[in-house]
């Protein structure tokens, strides 16, 4: 402590002291002693300020080794956590993959069962359709045979009636309706009434549209029923589209064939192609949905010029000039006067009259 009190102030403390204090200390301080002889500085190695242990390691090295151990322990712990996390993720991913595979197999099995069931339904429907088609063909054959038999019967009756008329008969007997009326009655018998058509339509709908009984169905059964109805509607819409496209194509072919038949029918008539058709077309009466081709003009009505190229070229030969026409001479002229514009009669030569004549006219 005494040494510290008697110790002289350093240069930095003197520089930091105020100027007045520095002057007082300069006056009171004795002259400085002579400097000691310069000693050779000792070589200090790095870290000499730290205390060394028995093994020769200083405090900084010990601290660095401890930090390194802590860092390595922390890294090992993080690596273990990462490995555990990766293991959990792999297990979770493997579980998801197994679930997806099982679901895919289940869907494949359900799809196969659904296709099998739909194939059975299609087979049943195809069998029903074939039975209906056979029944319809059978009825058609029976009706044709019946009509043929009736025609043969009428033909025989007519032949017998013609044979029985050995002499000419000039008397006209009025018949109620005549043969035309009889044929119309036959056609009416062959046709079906509105009630019969409605009954057939109702029977066909009852046969094709099955009743929907969903009483007591669970949620899964309702879902299956909805899927079944959806697939059926999907297939019916596809069939409807195919039939519409087929109908359009057949309609276009019918139009082309009708037009060809109409042209062939016109070809047999003399001069029919060069005239506008005024009489009704018999084919259009049979096929009302197909309008006839309208001929607006004949092909011989629009002839541009009967002259040849040489004759037409003669029109553009020789000088080309404008025709001068005789001009009509004016009989009067508008003259501006002090009182305003006035009409003045011109002479026979077309000259203006004298000013005196103009004033006299005014």
Per-position DSSP letters for 245-259, written without gaps between them: HHHHHHHHHHHHHHH
For 342, residues 6+ apart whose C-beta sits below 8 A from its C-beta are: 334, 335, 358, 361, 362
* Whole-model pTM over 0.85: no
Q: What is the rounded (10 degree) CA torsion for 334, 339, 340, 344?
A: -10
What integer pLDDT is reported at residue 293 of this predicted model? Answer: 64
Q: What is the pLDDT of residues 282-327, one digit of tens each?
A: 666 666 666 666 667 676 666 667 788 888 888 888 776 677 778 8
Assign 123 a pLDDT band (cuts: 50, 70, 90): very high
What integer pLDDT is reported at residue 117 of this predicted model? Answer: 92
Tell me which residue of 289, 222, 236 sits closest to 258, measured CA to CA: 289
Per-position DSSP letters for 49-66, written without gaps between them: TSPB-TTS-BHHHHHHHH
Residue, of 41 and 256, whose pLDDT is higher: 256
Decide: helix, strand or coil at residue 334: strand
CA dist., res. 34 & res. 355, Å (int): 148
Weakest-pLDDT range from 23-27, 247-251, 338-342: 23-27
Residue, of 302 and 143, whose pLDDT is higher: 143
Mean pLDDT of 100-129: 92
What integer pLDDT is reported at residue 208 of this predicted model? Answer: 78
What integer pLDDT is reported at residue 40 of this predicted model? Answer: 47
Residue, of 63 and 188, whose pLDDT is higher: 63
Please provide the average confidence, as pLDDT, over all residues in the chain. 75
Is-contact 147 190, C-beta < 8 A? yes
Mean pLDDT of 5-31: 51
- Count Cβ neighbours within 10 Å for each residue of 158-197 and write b for 16 or more, e otherwise: eeeeeeeeeeeeeeeeeeeeeeeeeeeeeeeeeeeeeeee
What integer pLDDT is reported at residue 127 of this predicted model? Answer: 92
CA dist., res. 333 & res. 358, Å (int): 12
For residue 80, pLDDT beyond 90: yes
CA dist., res. 8 & res. 4, Å (int): 8
Beta bridge mates, 344: 333
The percentage of the chain sitting over the pLDDT mark of 70, rounded to a whole number, equals 62
What integer pLDDT is reported at residue 43 of this predicted model? Answer: 44
Q: What is the pLDDT of residues 146-182, one digit of tens each?
A: 999 998 888 888 888 777 665 455 455 554 444 444 4
Could you tell me where the beta strands, DSSP code E, fall in 263-359? 332-337, 340-345
Decide: helix, strand or coil at residue 132: helix
CA distance readout (Å), 48 to 40, 42, 63: 18, 12, 15
CA dist., res. 330 & res. 346, Å (int): 8
For residue 24, pLDDT beyond 70: no
Mean pLDDT of 221-248: 91
Residue, of 101 and 354, whose pLDDT is higher: 101
């Amino acid at each position: 402590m005494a040494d510290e009190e008697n110790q002289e102030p350093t240069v930095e403390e003197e520089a930091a002291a105020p100027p007045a204090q520095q002057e007082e200390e300069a006056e009171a301080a004795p002259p400085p002693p002579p400097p000691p002889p310069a000693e050779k500085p000792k070589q200090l190695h790095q870290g000499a300020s730290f205390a060394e242990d028995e093994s020769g390691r200083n405090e900084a090295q010990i601290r660095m080794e401890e930090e390194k151990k802590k860092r390595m322990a922390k890294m090992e712990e993080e690596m273990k956590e990462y490995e555990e996390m990766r293991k959990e993720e792999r297990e979770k991913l493997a579980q998801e993959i197994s679930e997806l595979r099982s679901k895919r197999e289940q869907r494949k099995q359900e799809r196969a069962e659904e296709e099998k069931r739909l194939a059975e339904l299609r087979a049943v429907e195809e069998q029903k359709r074939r039975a209906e088609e056979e029944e319809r063909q059978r009825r058609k054959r029976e009706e044709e045979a019946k009509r043929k038999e009736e025609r043969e019967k009428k033909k025989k009756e007519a032949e017998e009636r013609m044979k029985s008329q050995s002499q000419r008969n000039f008397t006209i007997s009025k018949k109620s309706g005549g043969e035309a009326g009889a044929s119309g009655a036959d056609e009416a018998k062959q046709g079906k009434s509105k009630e019969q058509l409605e009954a057939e339509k109702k029977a066909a709908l009852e046969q094709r549209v099955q009743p929907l009984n969903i009483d007591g169905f669970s949620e899964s059964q309702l879902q299956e029923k909805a899927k079944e109805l959806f697939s059926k509607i999907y297939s019916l819409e596809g069939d409807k589209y195919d039939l519409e496209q087929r109908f359009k194509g057949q309609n276009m072919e019918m139009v082309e064939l009708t037009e060809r038949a109409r042209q062939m029918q016109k070809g047999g008539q003399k001069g029919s192609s060069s005239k506008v058709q005024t009489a009704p077309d018999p084919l259009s009466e049979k096929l009302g949905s197909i309008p006839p081709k309208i001929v607006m003009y004949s092909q011989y009505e629009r002839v541009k010029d009967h002259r040849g190229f040489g004759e037409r070229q003669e029109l553009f030969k020789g000088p080309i000039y404008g025709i001068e026409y005789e001009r009509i001479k004016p009989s009067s002229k508008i003259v501006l006067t002090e009182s305003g514009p006035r009409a003045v009669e011109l002479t026979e030569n077309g000259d203006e009259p004298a000013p005196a004549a103009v004033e006299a006219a005014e």
